[in-house]
Structure 1
Amino acid sequence: MQGTTIWIYGIGFLAQIFFSARILYQWIVTEKAKKIISPPIFWILSIFGSYLLFIYGVLRNDFAIIFGQFIAYYIYLWNLNMQGIWKQIHVGLKAILLLTPVIAVALLMRDMNAFTTLFFRQKDIPVWLLIFGSAGQVLFTFRFIYQWIYSAHLHRSVLPIGFWIISLLGSGIIVAYGIIRHDPVLILGQSVGFVAYVRNIMIGLQTKTNVPI
C-alpha cells in the first residue's frame, strides 16, 4: 500500500471512528435510560465524521460516498439547532460549517465533463456497482431525512424506531458494496453499528409495548 493511499485511508478510518463513537455513545445512554435517546454528542460527532468522510470520498473519487454525506451533513446541523447547540457556536465557525461542503462540491463541478468522467465513467467502478453503492447511500441517508421529518413534526430532536430499521437495511447494502470494492473503511465502519441498530430497535419496541427484553 503506497504512502498516499495510507493517509487517505487514515482520513476515512478517522471519520468512521467518529461515526462509531456516536453510535456507541448513543447506545450506552439508551441502555441506561431504557428508551431511545438523541444526545447532542451524537450530532456533534456526526458533523466531525461527515466532514472527514466527505473529504475521503473526494480523495477516493467515490461519488456514492460524497452524495450520501452531502445530504446528511445539513440534517446534522439542523438537529444541533433543535437541541440549542447551534446558537452557541461562533458565527465564523457557523459560516465555515455551512459553506465548506457547498464550496467543495462547486469546485468539483466547475468542469462538468471532467466531473462526469471522474465519478461516473471510472474503469475501476462499473456503472451497476456505482448504482448499487449509491442506492445504499441513498437508503442510509434517507434515515436522516426520515428522522428530520419525524423530529420536525414533534418540534424536537428524536431518533425513532424507523431510523434504526432503515439504518440496518442501508448499512447491509453499504457493507456489500464495500466488500465488492475492497474498501476496508466502509466495511469496518458500517459493521460496528449492526448490534447498536438492533438494540435500539428492541428497546424502542419494548418502550412501546412495555414488554421486558
Structure 2
Amino acid sequence: MWIFAIGFLAQAFFSARILLQWALSERAGRVLSPGAFWVLSLAGSYLFFVYGWLRDDFAIILGQFISYYIYIWNLREKAIWFHIPRPCRWVLGLTPFAAFVWLARDLPAFAATFLHNADVPLSLLLLGTAGQAVFTLRFVYQWLYSRRRGDSLLPAGFWMLSLAGSSMIVLYACLRHDPVLIVGQSFGLAAYLRNLMLSFRKTSQTQ
C-alpha cells in the first residue's frame, strides 16, 4: 500500500500541473507554459521514478529518466532552477544517474528483475515501453521546439503526442491492473484535448 501511496502522490503532482496549466491557459485564451508546471513535473517525476523502481517496472523508469532532465532544462529557461538550494539541485540532478549506475553493477540481475519480470509478460512490457516512449517523446519535441525559439513553450505537437502516449499507457495499465497509471493517465486526456483545441484556435486566429 505504501508503494501505491508513492505512486498516487506522484500522480497528484502530475495532475496538479495539468490543472494549473489548463486553468491559466483557459484564462489567457491560449496555451501557457507556467513555471509551476515544470516545478510540479520535476517533483512528480522524482516520486514516479521511485515508484517504478519499487514496482520493478522498466517502462516507467525509462520514461521518467528521459523527461526528467527536460524538466530541469525548462526550469533553467524559466530562471527557477538556480533558486533551488544547491544541495537539493545536486540530489535532484544525480539521483537518476546514481540509480542507473547501481543497476549497471549487475546487468544479468537487472535483466532478470526488470526485463523478465514474471508479473509483466514481454508483450505487455513492449506495449508499456512503447507508450512511455511516445509519452516521453512529447517532452523531447517540446525541448527541441523551445530551444529553436529561445523560450519554454508547449506547442500543439506536444499535446498530440500526449494524447497518443497517454492512450497507450492507459491500455497498458488496464492490462497490468495498475490503478496509479489508470487514474493518472485518464485524468489528463481531457486536458490534453482541450489544450490542443486552444493551440489550433490560436493558430487559426493568427492566419
- TM-score (ref. length: structure 2): 0.98
**Partner deviation per Cα, 1:22-76 (whole Å, 9 max, x = no partner):** 0010000000000100000000000110000000000000000000000000000
Amino acid across the alignment from 2:53 = V
2:135 aligns to what? 140
Tell me the secondary structure at the aligned position of residue 156 of structure 1: coil
1:3 aligns to what? none
Q: How does 1:64-79 map to 2 (within 5 A)?
A: 64-79=59-74
Q: Does 1:51 align with 2:46?
A: yes
CA distance in 2, matches of 1:134, 1:204: 28
Amino acid across the alignment from 2:174 = I
What is the CA RMSD across the aligned residues, in angstroms? 0.9
2:193 aligns to what? 198
Q: Which runs of 4+ in 1 moved over 2 A?
A: none
Q: Does 1:61 align with 2:61?
A: no
Which stretch of the first structure deviates more once superposed, 119-128 or 17-26?
119-128
Tell me the secondary structure at the aligned position of residue 175 of structure 2: helix
- The alignment covers a number of residue pairs equal to 206
Amino acid across the alignment from 1:90 = P
1:187 aligns to what? 182
Amino acid across the alignment from 1:181 = R
Q: Does 1:111 align with 2:106?
A: yes
1:11 aligns to what? 6
2:34 aligns to what? 39
Tell me the secondary structure at the aligned position of residue 210 of structure 1: helix
Where structure 1 has 5 or more consecutive residues not aligned to the other structure, the ranges are 1-5
CA distance in 1, matches of 2:52, 2:104: 15
Q: CA deviation at 1:206?
A: 0.6
Tell me the secondary structure at the aligned position of residue 125 of structure 1: coil
CA distance in 2, matches of 1:194, 1:134: 19
Amino acid across the alignment from 2:115 = F
Q: Percent identity over the alignment?
A: 53
**Partner deviation per Cα, 1:104-135 (whole Å, 9 max, x = no partner):** 12112211110010011122211111111000
- TM-score (ref. length: structure 1): 0.95
Q: Does 1:177 align with 2:172?
A: yes
CA distance in 2, matches of 1:122, 1:191: 25
Q: How does 1:82-121 map to 2 (within 5 A)?
A: 82-121=77-116
CA distance in 2, matches of 1:70, 1:81: 18
Where structure 2 has 5 or more consecutive residues not aligned to the other structure, the ranges are none
